[in-house]
Amino acid sequence: MLMLKLDQAMAMKGVNTRQLSEMTGIRWNTVDDMAKNKAKHWSPENLEKVMQALEIEDVADLIEYRK
For 42-64, how does the pLDDT look when each residue is reduced to its tens digit (9 = 90+)?
999 999 999 999 999 999 999 99
Which pairing describes strands 63-65 and 2-4: parallel, antiparallel, or unpaired? antiparallel
Neighbours of 66 (CB within 10 A): 6
Q: What is the pTM of this model?
A: 0.91
Cβ atoms within 10 A of the Cβ of 2, count? 9
What does the alpha-carbon distance between residue 54 and residue 9 come to, in Å, rounded to a whole number?
7
The phi-psi region of residue 14 (left if phi > 0; otherwise alpha if psi is between -120 and 50; otherwise beta) is: left
Question: Is the pLDDT at 40 greater than 90, yes or no?
Answer: no
